[in-house]
Amino acid sequence: MAAKPWEVITWSLEHQQTIYRDWGINYSFKQQYENAAKYYTKSLDIKENDVRALLNRSLCKDDVAKCVSALDDAVAALALNDDNHPVNLQVCDALYHMNEFEQTKVELSNKSRKFVWKQENYHGIKTKPGKFVGHKERPFLDRLDVVEQNFLDTLGENVGIFLKKHSKKLDKIVEEVNRRKTKDPRPMWKVLRDEGKCDILSVLLEEAKKLHIREQAQLNQYYRVFLQVYFLKGWIDVSFLKELMTDKRLLLPQTKKSTPFLAELTKAQYDTVYEFLKMLQARSPLYTKRYKMCPNQKLAAKIREDHLYRVQYQTRRDMFNILENVKKLRTQGKVNKLADYIENAMGSYVETKTLRVLPRKFQFTNDIYNILGLAYADRLTVPSNLMLHPAEERLFVLMSIPKEKDKDPDVKYIFGDKSTYQEPDAPDYVYMAYKKRTTKLESRLPYAKFPIEKCYIFHELAKNHMTQSKFDESRALSKKVMDEAEMCQNYLWKFLGALEICKSNIMQRKLEQVKLSLQVAAEVAKKLNSQRINYFMDTCIKMNQICINIKQSLSDELIFSKREKTRIAPTLLDVNGPESASDSMDED
């Protein structure tokens, strides 16, 4: 950092110390508290016992929620000048900002009576006049009133109502707090052994706790309400600041220098705001804020009930809109778009609704997933140009399986073209999309309550694995689809699971396995009472049988040709006779 012009001139230490302190005051007026604290520190490096610099630095740190450091500076200034009125006030304020209300009240009580004596006590002895009298005593008394009000807000009548409402949760909270405080003296391997866990790993793997999407939505809602109560209209700025901490549009990975600086800046600013939020919450807890908003408990209950009815009505309308859109997409034949729409609607919106808001959630889930299953079944038709394709490709056409791409395609390299030069560490976006979708579906699986929902998740996972040629995983998940469908007596999804097994075998060209899996799928299809699907399955079985016959005929021809070769070799020897054979040996 280049030196300032006034720093180059050889000022005396006394002048330098004054200049640094004045620059700190200037930056404090501009609300640049970090720069102000830096210059106050330079001033104190020259003169450690400067009470004014210590006090100003304590005020700067207080403004950026560094309460502990601010208290240290205030105490250091108080040790230098015990009678300084602003320093005594700053000590009390720093304790108050640290949420130490008991200690703050003690200090305020002591300092408000400090040097406050009457001219003559009851013994008739005259004393010196007090220094903190009148307008100097008033700030301490005002702060005492504020602290008393904070005690009423935290420990008043409202806390009894709050504890009574949440009494069932208190035991679990106390148990968790005690568990964290107490340490088990036994070795780790004994603790794990008694809990029935693995006790041979030297480094324990901590499993990240995954919250359900409903719990995440509830936490986001609580956090938003929390900000709205304490910051009013400024809550949206705090929420925006929190989003910036993980926003890739701000923290670009390509910018190596600015990204760490911006990440540190946003985190520091959010931490400062969060510290102020904790101060406000400690002074007036949320249960007190809610009570002050509506002291009439009957009216508050009526407002909550009306809000519940509004949410229920809006949710009901949303469900009808989703059903209408799903049926419309199925009628239009847009199956892929329908699958994406259902995944977004059921995975991000319906999952956040409880039975209190959506009482008929089971019926709605059944209707949605059955419509999707019917849309998948609508695609099972025999095309009119089926026989124009080669015999080995007809099953691929029937099952709508895309053709395999050549792994080493013939690429014409053009000088100067970007496609000619491929980056060695270029990201595989197809595989990234596969992993993202797999993770999203697997995260829903532990919280799926209904068997038909599990059928859908297993079916989509099987399809997703098949795109990456993971046929064993796809078959295993398809069998789970059939098992879950058997539990809920849903033959449609059982048929779709059997069909996925057929597709896996077809892509691996295991004709005998295809024959068995097609027979299983055909047996399930008969229970659907659909002539179109039965005709489709019969056609698949016939096309597979044609492939088996062709393969058998080719193998028979190969065996026959080998036998003919073995028969021709000895006949040649018989035609030439033994003499020709002996002549050839003599020539050798």
User: Which residues, other chains included, contact 339 with Cβ-Cβ below 8 Å and sequence gap of 6+?
Assistant: 372, 375, 460
Give residue 279's pLDDT.
94
Q: What is the mean pLDDT of the chain?
A: 85
Give residue 110's pLDDT.
86
Give me the mean pLDDT over the 490-506 stretch: 94
User: Could you tell me which residue, 408 or 92, shows the higher pLDDT?
Assistant: 92
Is pTM beyond 0.75? Reply is yes
Q: Report the sign of the C-alpha dihedral through residues 436, 439, 445, 446, in that order.
A: negative
Question: Could you give phi then psi for residue 355, rounded to 5 degrees?
Answer: -65, -20
Give me the mean pLDDT over the 232-253 stretch: 92
Distance CA 277, CA 581 (A): 107
Q: What is the pLDDT of residues 166-182, one digit of tens each?
A: 888 888 888 888 888 88
Give me the mean pLDDT over the 410-422 stretch: 61
Confidence at 420, pLDDT banded by 50, 70, 90: low
Give residue 557's pLDDT.
72
Alpha helices in 47-137 (DSSP H): 51-63, 67-80, 85-97, 101-112
Class of the domain covering 380-402+440-578: mainly alpha
Give me the mean pLDDT over the 296-323 stretch: 94
Return the CATH superfamily for domain 10-119+128-155: Tetratricopeptide repeat domain (1.25.40.10)
DSSP for 322-359 reads: HHHHHHHHHHHT-HHHHHHHHHHHHHHTGGG--TTT-T
pLDDT of 392 over the 70 cut: yes
Distance CA 588, CA 584 (A): 6
Confidence at 256, pLDDT banded by 50, 70, 90: confident
Give me the mean pLDDT over the 144-160 stretch: 90
Distance CA 326, CA 369 (A): 10
pLDDT of 571 over the 60 cut: no
Give me the mean pLDDT over the 222-251 stretch: 93
- In CATH terms, are 10-119+128-155 and 380-402+440-578 the same topology? yes
- Of the listed ranges 71-85, 183-197, 305-319, 334-348, the least confidently predicted one is 183-197
Q: What is the pLDDT of residues 440-493, one digit of tens each?
A: 999 899 889 899 999 999 999 999 999 998 999 999 999 999 999 999 999 999
- SS3 letters for 138-150? HHHHHHHHHHHHH
Domain ranges of the chain: 10-119+128-155, 312-379, 380-402+440-578
Give residue 574's pLDDT.
53
Confidence at 118, pLDDT banded by 50, 70, 90: very low
Give residue 582's pLDDT.
44
pLDDT of 586 over the 50 cut: no
- Of the listed ranges 91-100, 127-136, 362-371, 442-451, the least confidently predicted one is 127-136
Give me the mean pLDDT over the 537-552 stretch: 91
Sort 62 into a burial class: Cβ within 10 Å, 0-12 / 13-18 / 19+.
Answer: buried
Question: Could you give phi then psi for residue 95, rounded to 5 degrees?
Answer: -65, -40
Q: What is the pLDDT of residues 8-55, one digit of tens each?
A: 656 788 888 898 999 999 999 999 999 999 999 999 999 888 999 999
Distance CA 132, CA 138 (A): 9
